[in-house]
Each structure stands twice: as C-alpha cells, then as structure tokens.
Structure 1
Amino acid sequence: MKRILQAASVLALSAGVFGSANVMAQDGAPSAEAHAPIRNIVLVHGAWVDGSGWKPVYDILTRDGYHVTMVQEPLTSLDADVAATKRVLDLQNGPTILVGHSYGGSVITEAGVHPNVAGLVYVAAHAPNVGEDEGALGKKTPSFLAKQTDAVEKTTDGYTYLNPAVFPKDFAADLPLRQATFESRSQILTAAQVFTTPLSAAAWTTKPSWGIVAGGDKIINPDLERWYYERAHSHVTVIPGASHSVYESKPQQVAAVIEDAAKHAVQ
C-alpha cells in the first residue's frame, strides 16, 4: 500500500512538472500562429498598363494560399491613384503586403502609410521621399527611354503614352512579341502630372521594404532602382537581364520576393 501511494505521488509530481513545462512553453514562446505569414497581398500597376499584367504573379500567389487583390488606378493624378489604392486597402481583413511596379512604387510609397500595410515590395519601381517626385529623380539618373526622342508621346490635354513602335523593345523586351505588341495597343493613357507630383508621405521610412532591380530595365535606370532601395534599406533582389516587364516575364522570382516579405514583415 505504501508503495502504491509513493508511485501515485511520483505520477502526480511528474504530471505537475510536465504540466508546468507545457504552460511555460506556451507562455514563453510565440505560438505558431504568431509566426504565420501575412496572407493579404495588394498589387499596384504602373503607368500605361493595367492590373491584368499581374496575372502570372497572381496565379502563383493564390496557388500558394494568399489572398490577392489588384488595384486598377485611373492614372489621372497621383492623388486619385493613391485614393484608389487606399480604397482597396480598406477592404483587407488584416496585415497586408503592398506591392508596386514602376510608377506604382510612388503610389505605394504614399498609400503605404495605411494602417493595414505591414510591408512594401518595389518591383522595378520608383520610391521617392517626401517632397520628391520621380520625374526629377529620373533626370538625375536617366534611363535608356529618357535618352530617346519622341518615345513618350503626349496628347493635347496632357496625357502620355509610350510610342507603340518602341513599346516592345523598351518596356517588354523579354516578353513574346505578340504579347508586347498587344500591350502597346492597350495602354492606359497616363496624366503627365503623375510623374512630377511631389510625395506627401513615404511609407518606406517607417515600414520594412523589399526591392527588385530589373537588370535590363530601359524605362527606369537599374542604377536608380538600386539607389532607391539602398536608401530605403530594402532587402534587394537583382534579376539580371530582366526588362521593365519583369513582373510578367519572371513571375516566379517576383512572387518569391513577395512571399518572403509576407513571411518576414512584422505584423
């Protein structure tokens, strides 16, 4: 009987020790849920194109379980494009990774102060600071496009588009010619003022960022992209030889950077 009581005491003590250890493990370490990746992704296109170009990246991200939304900007003014982005961010149900391509980088820089945004991803994109505009910064580090004459056309009411004759080789050199030609004929005319409007906020100064340099970019000088990302202390990925349409031509690599941001941005 004495031995039975001793055994019972040992078992009770063991249960208490293991129970306490279990409680300590739960209290002392974050749960798996706390380390779960952010599930919401919002994708913002650049000038002259629309959100449909994100489809290859969208397909990868949704297959991997992310909730992905594209913003369709009016491209009539920076304020209107930021408002369109914030409208979509309002609909997200929690922390979100905000991704911008090209001029879309300026848009996410300003819209990214939204409380739902946990991290930013720049894809061959501009990232001005407060009071700066991408047009002036582009002149300091001119691109191949900027050195061409008559590549960017302008309507009488102040809207721009890329000359369809140069669009395939300048904007999308690593896309199939048929696809690039179609995109050259489906451009969204973009107000010239969007390129020269100074930013009133810069989310990259307070939120983590990731940046993709398109090594063969002719629309934005790759050296300017590097400069932006180094200044923002971004996690930088260089994709050698990729055109400005890197989000379409190299979707796997672009999606991998976005997923890395989703896994490591602070929630």
Structure 2
Amino acid sequence: MAQVSTILLAHGAWANASAWAKVLPLLQEAGASAIAVSLPLISLEADVAALTRAISLADGPVLLVGHSYGGAVITQGGNDAKVAGLVYINGFGPDAGESAGTLGAGGPPTSLPENLQPDAHGFLKLTRRGVEVSFAQDLTPAEQALIFATQGPVSGPFALGGEIETPAWKTKPSWYLRGTDDHAIHPELQTMMAKRMDATTVDVASSHVPMLSHPRVVADLILKAAG
C-alpha cells in the first residue's frame, strides 16, 4: 500500500469526534495529517455520506479508521477510489447484507444491550451504568461522566440496522485492533471479523474504547498502517 496522505477517523455510536482527542495529537506529532469526522448517527446512509464528503476534501491516498459502529461506516465508505486501507478499532466489519446490529446480536452475548435506553423514535442511549460496566470500565470516573454527558444517541433501526452493500475490506488492506476486555463487542466476535477480512491484528487489554484508555497503542497501529 502506498504511503497515505490523510488519515480520517470515524467515531462509533454514543460518541462524537472528540473520541479521538487523545490519538490525534500522537498522530500529528508523528507528522501525519489526521482529521476526525463527525457522524450524525441517524442512519448508515447519512453517516457514509458524511465520511464520503470528508474523503472528497482530503488529499489522497486516504486511510480510514473506524471505531465500533464506525467500522461499518468505513466498510461501506471505503470503496471510494481514494481510500488505500482500513483500520478497525474494536470495530464492526460487516459483510454484504450484514449490519452492525445483526453482527452484535448474532455474536456471543455482552452486557451492552441491557444497559441501553431507547426513546420513542428508536434512538438508543447508554445508561450511566452502561458507560461504567459495558463501554469504558477502564477509564476514570471523571472520564466516564464526560462520555455519558456528551454521548451521541444512535438510531437502532437505521444506523445500527443499516446493511452493507459492498464491503471495502474485500478489496482493501485492513488492520484490526482487538480489545480483549471489551464488554460491548465480544472479543470472539472481533476475532471472527478480523480473521475473515484477513486483517493484520493487534490485541490490547482494553475496554470498548482503547483510543481513550490506550491511545499510544491505537496511534502506533494507525501509523503502521499509514506506511
């Protein structure tokens, strides 16, 4: 893979672009051009469109990085000709016809579903307990409180339920950071996804948010993938 010019980072559900606040400085210190993309989390189509707009403005080649549900977004958006590779951080990598939601429901159970609060429109929010035990159990109480207060609710039917048409990982080189203490996406499910995409895989003893608990490990993998 040619050395990339721009790294675009896509956050997951119950998050926003600030999820990459600890990783961005490390990438920039290494001389990389890195941009965190804000996703609306209202549908997979809308989130892929937001990523595609960022790709169109970026100097290529582009490396896409997706955390959690953001992995599904880069799986579809990564088919853009400017994209040279994909990096999944505890991320969903659906195949054609799959969604983040169906993958999660079909994998080994985790504590996440019981700690989600739906509203009348199908948007899901993490409870405070969900942040503490299912999402970010290795962060400080202050960091957990910030995640809870700033989370982006996600559409269950249209974002998590959005099906992939063409998975970019079938034609683009991929890397995968697997969180072995993840209580949101089971590590065994992560193993399956990384294996079928033939991804270069690195393990870290982390919760669902290694970009916050182990930012150096995350940044090192991204820089390796960037060439």
TM norm structure 2: 0.96
| Structure 1 residue aligned with 2:152 | 188
**Larger gyration radius, structure 1 or structure 2:** 1
CA contact (8 A) 1:72 1:84 kept: yes
Q: Aligned residue for 1:259?
A: 223
Structure 2 counterparts to residues 31-42 of structure 1, below 5 A: 37-42=3-8
For residues 187 and 94 of structure 1, what CA distance do their matches in structure 2 show? 31
Q: Hey, what's the Cα distance between the residues in 1 that align with 2:111 and 2:162?
A: 20
**CA deviation vs aligned residue, 1:130-183 (integer Å, no higher than 9, x gap):** 11112222222134225x63x111001111111123312211111111111121
Structure 1's unaligned 5+ residue stretches are 1-34
CA contact (8 A) 1:164 1:184 kept: yes
- Does the 8 Å contact 1:44/1:104 carry over to 2? yes
Q: Deviations over 1:230-255 (max 9, x none)?
A: 00000000112x00011111111111
2:25 aligned partner: 59
In structure 1, what residue type is equivalent to 2:200? H
Higher relative contact order, structure no. (Cα contacts within 8 Å, ≥ 6 residues apart) = 2
Corresponding position of 2:183: 218
Maintained 8 Å contact 2:22/2:215: yes
Query: Of 33, 37, 40, which residue of structure 2 is paired with 1:71?
Result: 37
Provide the aligned length of Structure 1 versus Structure 2: 226
**1:153 partnered with 2:117:** yes
Residue number among 139, 142, 166 corresponding to 2:108 in the alignment: 142
Contact residue 39 and residue 65 of structure 1 kept, 8 A: no
In the alignment, the residues of structure 2 paired with residue 125 and residue 210 of structure 1 have an alpha-carbon distance, to the nearest angstrom, of 10
8 Å CA contact retained: 1:168, 1:184: no
Q: What is the match of residue 47 of structure 2?
A: 81
The whole-number CA distance in structure 2 between the counterparts of 1:93 and 1:197 is 28
What is the TM-score with the length of structure 1 in the denominator? Answer: 0.82
Matched-pair identity in %: 35
Identify the structure with the greater helix proportion: 1
1:107 is the counterpart of 2:85: no
The aligned counterpart of 1:131 is: 97
